[in-house]
Amino acid sequence: MEIVITGRHTQIKQRFRDVVESKMNRVTAIAPDAQRAQIVLSHEGNPRQADTAKRVEITIIAGSTVVRAEASSADEFSALDMALDKLTLRLRRTRDRRKDHRRGYENPVPVDLGVIEPEPAAAEEEVHEDVENSPAAAVASDLGPGESVEVQVGDTPIVIRRKLHIAEPMTIDEALYEMELIGHDFFLFVNKETGRPSVVYHRHGWSYGVFEIDTPENIKNK
pLDDT in tens, 101-143: 555 544 444 444 444 444 444 444 444 444 455 555 555 556 6
Cβ 80 vs Cβ 49: under 8 Å: no
* Single-letter code of the amino acid located at 96: D
Give the model's pLDDT for residue 46. Answer: 81
Distance CA 2, CA 113 (A): 42
Distance CA 111, CA 212 (A): 12
Domain residue ranges in the chain: 2-102, 111-119+166-221, 127-163
Give the model's pLDDT for residue 94. Answer: 75
Superfamily of segment(s) 2-102? Ribosome hibernation promotion factor-like (3.30.160.100)
Distance CA 44, CA 185 (A): 24
pLDDT in tens, 151-171: 777 777 787 877 777 888 989
Give the model's pLDDT for residue 125. Answer: 44
Residues of the chain with pLDDT under 70: 97-143, 145-146, 222
Mean model confidence pLDDT for the chain: 78
Give the model's pLDDT for residue 100. Answer: 56
Give the model's pLDDT for residue 142. Answer: 67
- The CATH number of 111-119+166-221 is 3.30.505.50
Q: Distances from the Cα of 9 to the Cαs of 6, 44, 221, in angstroms?
A: 10, 8, 55
